[in-house]
């Protein structure tokens, strides 16, 4: 006697798929696609529809395997062609993703937007770009929310515009080479002045004048139209210009070149002068009296010895877990590998007071005895 295989009623089919959903005329329609293929289809990378769709079938609920009715398809799409309707849902529908996957995509796009903002802006005081972590924290402060349906570059430009309202941040200028006829240079110069552009260099070759300038990217389209009007040529040398090299603090060797000192600085300078004069007088006395020289040397030696002892004591590192001072940095590192520190660490997790090194050894020995007795107990 043959028996039919009965499937469980609560079984959900087509769960490991990417679902694209479209709601039209009050009815929800879904199609089952392969993961990571929907975005490839929409960006034009994937051309084969069979590589995107798992089946040319329209559902009302993919996870439960409920097919869409023909009358609903005709009412919503004026057709019952499954492939044609799948194409429309694939192009206009909303891709359903899991919570963690959506969070990962949003965090990745947030990082991309912050990177673009970092590349296109700089600190007006140092003319150097801000760090990526600082840009991200500033974006959090203005409560920026990523829109996954818009491009990262367009959102980055909006972020820059919003950050300029609250923080000292400027758009990095572009570096352009502009070549115009000599008689048109006056018109170009007026426009560059109006745009607050910085002229880096100027060169003349025959009847042509070449200018390298740094211009705000917001005036790029105007500059392009101006060059066409003046029958000139332009070349983009750099999309974003930042300051290069390290900051240098000039050191003045001569006292004549030194800037004016404050009251505290001048008093320190006078004290140093007095000390130099006192030392010179003391040296003369030591040359005249050898006994005085010997006593001064002994005094200096005792002072240096005291300073060395204080420095060695200052190098002592304290372990908060063991509540004890450990020697230098090497001994401090070795202490963390010792059984003493490990034992006190276990006691700390149980909220017990730390033990000294001798107490720790005795406690560990007692634990070993207890373990041995436990092995031989019946």
pLDDT (tens, 9 = 90+) of the chain, 378 residues, equals 456 666 555 555 555 688 889 998 888 999 988 877 887 888 888 888 888 888 889 999 888 888 999 998 998 888 888 899 999 998 888 887 767 767 877 888 899 999 999 888 888 888 788 888 888 888 888 888 888 878 888 898 899 888 888 888 888 888 888 888 888 888 888 888 888 888 888 888 888 888 888 888 888 888 888 888 888 888 888 877 776 554 443 433 444 344 444 434 444 545 455 555 555 565 555 555 554 555 565 555 544 444 544 444 455 778 888 888 887 778 888 888 888 888 888 888 777 888 888 888 888 877 776 666 655 544
- Axis-axis angle for helices 220-229, 185-194 (nearest 10): 170
* Dist. CA 167–CA 103, nearest whole Å: 28
The structure tokens listed for 122 are: 């700089």
Domain ranges within the chain, ordered by starting residue? 17-96, 100-170, 173-238, 323-372
Tell me which H or E stretch contains 30: strand 27-33
* Dist. CA 334–CA 360, nearest whole Å: 17
Whether 100-170 shares its CATH topology with 173-238 is answered no
Contact call for residues 93 and 31 (beta carbons, < 8 A): yes
Contact call for residues 169 and 121 (beta carbons, < 8 A): yes
* Dist. CA 113–CA 161, nearest whole Å: 13
Contact call for residues 217 and 173 (beta carbons, < 8 A): yes
Q: Which residues contact 261 (CB under 8 A, 6 or more apart)?
A: 269
Query: pLDDT value at position 256?
Result: 39
Query: pLDDT value at position 30?
Result: 92
Residue 32's CB is within 10 A of a number of other CB atoms, namely 23
What Cα–Cα distance (Å) separates residue 92 from each residue in 38, 351, 354?
Answer: 11, 61, 67
Pick the CATH number of 100-170 from 1.20.1250.20, 2.60.40.730, 1.20.1260.10, 1.10.10.900: 1.10.10.900
Burial, 374: exposed, middle or buried (Cβ in 10 Å; 0-12, 13-18, 19+)? exposed
Residue 112's CB is within 10 A of a number of other CB atoms, namely 16
* Dist. CA 329–CA 249, nearest whole Å: 34
> What CATH class has 17-96?
alpha beta
173-238 CATH:
3.30.70.240
- 3-class DSSP state for residue 82? helix
Residues listed for the chain = 378
């Amino acid at each position: 006697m043959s028996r039919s295989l009965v499937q469980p009623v609560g079984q959900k089919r087509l769960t490991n798929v990417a679902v694209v959903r479209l709601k039209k005329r009050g009815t929800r329609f879904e199609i089952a696609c392969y993961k990571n293929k929907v975005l490839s289809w929409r960006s034009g990378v994937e051309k084969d529809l069979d590589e995107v769709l798992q089946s040319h079938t329209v559902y009302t609920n993919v996870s439960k395997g409920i097919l869409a009715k023909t009358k609903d398809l005709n009412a919503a799409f004026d057709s019952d062609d499954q492939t044609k309707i799948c194409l429309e849902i694939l192009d206009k529908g909303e891709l359903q993703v899991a919570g963690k996957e959506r969070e990962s995509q949003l965090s990745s796009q947030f990082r991309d937007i912050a990177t673009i903002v970092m590349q296109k802006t700089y600190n007006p005081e140092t003319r150097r770009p801000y760090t990526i972590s600082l840009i991200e924290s500033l974006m959090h402060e203005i409560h920026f929310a990523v829109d996954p349906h818009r491009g990262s570059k367009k959102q980055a430009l909006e972020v820059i515009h919003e950050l300029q309202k609250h923080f000292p941040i400027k758009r990095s200028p572009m570096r352009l080479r502009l070549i115009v006829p000599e008689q048109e240079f006056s018109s170009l110069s007026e426009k560059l002045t109006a745009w607050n552009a910085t002229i880096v260099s100027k060169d003349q070759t025959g009847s042509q004048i070449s200018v390298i300038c740094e211009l705000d990217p917001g005036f790029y389209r105007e500059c392009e139209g101006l060059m066409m009007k003046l029958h000139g040529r332009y070349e983009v040398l750099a999309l974003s210009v930042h300051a290069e090299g390290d900051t240098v603090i000039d050191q003045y060797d001569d006292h004549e070149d030194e800037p004016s000192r404050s009251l505290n600085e001048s008093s320190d300078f006078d004290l140093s002068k007095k000390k130099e004069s006192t030392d010179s007088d003391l040296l003369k006395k030591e040359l005249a009296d050898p006994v005085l020289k010997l006593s001064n040397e002994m005094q200096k030696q005792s002072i240096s010895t005291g300073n060395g002892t204080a420095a060695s004591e200052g190098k002592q590192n304290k372990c908060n877990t063991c509540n004890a001072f450990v020697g230098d940095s090497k001994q401090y590192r070795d202490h963390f590998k010792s059984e003493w520190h490990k034992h006190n660490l276990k006691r700390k997790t149980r909220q017990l007071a730390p033990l000294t090194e001798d107490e720790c050894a005795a406690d560990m020995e007692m634990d070993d005895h207890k373990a041995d007795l436990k092995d031989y107990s019946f």
